[in-house]
Amino acid sequence: MLRAFFLGVILMVGTLLAQELYIRDLQNGVKLIVRPRKDTKAVSLQVWIKVGSVYEKYDEKGMAHFLEHMVFNGTEKYRYGEIDRLIESLGGNINAGTSKDYTYYHVEIAHTYWREALDVLHQLTMRALLEEEMIEKEKKIVIEEIRRAKDNPNYVLWNEFEKLVYKVSPYRFPVIGFEETVSKFTRPMLLRFYKSFYVPKNIAVVVVGNVEPSEVEKEVKKTFGSEPFASPPKVRIPNEPPQKGIRFKKLEDKRVQKAHWVIGWRVPAIGKNEYKGLIILTELLCGGRISLFYRELREKGLVYSYWCGDLGRPRDNIFVVKASFQPERYEEVKKRVFELMEELYKTLTDEQVEEAKRRIINARLFEQERVENEAYDIGYAYTVVGDLDFYRFFEKNVMRARRVDVLRIFERYIKKDVYSEVLMVPKDEKGDSS
């Protein structure tokens, strides 16, 4: 009876979310998505652009990230530094992020100032000046960022892992780019990239918080809606061929004192029907202190830290397990990880699946109390997953998952003879790994 009641509540929440999304397609191609909420005085405004490092040509590697930096260096309306001062003076926060699949700009602010925030985001994404002097200044900053990243063992570990997994896909290249490419960026190159991808048909404006949707639509039409229609170029992103066999690489680094390990399997892309089974699997393995990995790896002292999960990619997705431990325990840790996954496969019950679903739904509801988190989930669903229903019916789809869906993930993807693995161990001054 309680389970049926809980399921009814979750389905009702999912339905309400679907009904409360205010969606408009502006004439010039901009997508507007508003989620009005009267339970808060805050508003999150986000502008999502479907461009990340996988959309770059080789001589453009790092350009999406570089451009994200550049737009803050001056627009038609706001000179360098003015945007940060304005938003901070209104008690808000402004930031941006670039990934392999998307770029987004966001402001979190009191609901009385959402119009000012919208104007700022419009200027950043549509009216950046990209001045030559500022480009040269930013090059030095980003190149230094690249050099610092190379000095970070975790960056090196992850970079080597993605190069091991991907042999064809542009996911193998780092978002930040390379010193050799960034140093050769010119204003014409940046303008061409900016004017190709920062166009109405490639943009979603997401607003979540205490706003009136019709008022937001009016203001968005005045700003983003005033831009001339334009579509982004068609970019062919090659798919990674199926992997055969095991790929392994060992790194030795004198900057680390313990072993760092990452292992991964190709899994269903985010939003695919099978993905719900992967969500449940992740929760069972590493969802907090009651998860299998926490109890058997962390609590028993086998590892210092661990993480597992998929990368949420719309193609060539990966499920990853990361851990740090004493170097001499590598074989023991790896063996135990495989044993635990085998144990879960053989002993998984319907009750475990139901409990995992409840934890996932509860965590999501709690997480989305913050307007910026809900706006992010909406923007990600539309821009990366390519389907707003992934956000709208997330709870409903999770509740549909069954034990057999989790077992299929093991059977089809988490194989003992097809995976990629990188191990980083300490290296002493004599050059011997310990």
Does the pLDDT value for residue 2 go beyond 90? no
Instruction: Report the half-sphere exposure of 263 (CA within 13 A, side-chain side).
Output: 19
With 0-12 / 13-18 / 19 or more C-beta atoms within 10 angstroms meaning exposed / middle / buried, residue 119 is middle
Per the structure block, which two tokens stand in for 165? 């997994």
Q: Can you give the length of the chain in residues?
A: 434
Fold of the domain built from segment(s) 246-426: Cytochrome Bc1 Complex; Chain A, domain 1 (3.30.830)
Does the pLDDT value for residue 20 go beyond 90? no
- The pLDDT of residue 8 is 40
Same fold, 19-226 and 246-426: yes
53, amino acid identity: S
Give me the residue spans of the domains in the chain: 19-226, 246-426
Q: How confident is the model at residue 432 (pLDDT cuts 50, 70, 90)?
A: low
- The pLDDT of residue 19 is 45
How confident is the model over 201-245, as pLDDT tens digits?
Answer: 999 999 999 999 999 999 999 999 999 999 999 999 999 999 999
**What's the whole-number mean pLDDT along residues 245-269?**
97
Q: How confident is the model at residue 430 (pLDDT cuts 50, 70, 90)?
A: low
For the chain, the average pLDDT equals 94
How confident is the model over 166-182, as pLDDT tens digits?
Answer: 999 999 999 999 999 99
Helix (H, G, I), strand (E, B), or coil: what is residue 374?
helix
For the 19-226 domain, the top CATH level (class) is alpha beta
Residue 16's contacts (CB-CB under 8 Å, 6 or more residues apart) are none
Whether the Cβ atoms of residue 52 and residue 98 lie closer than 8 Å to each other: yes
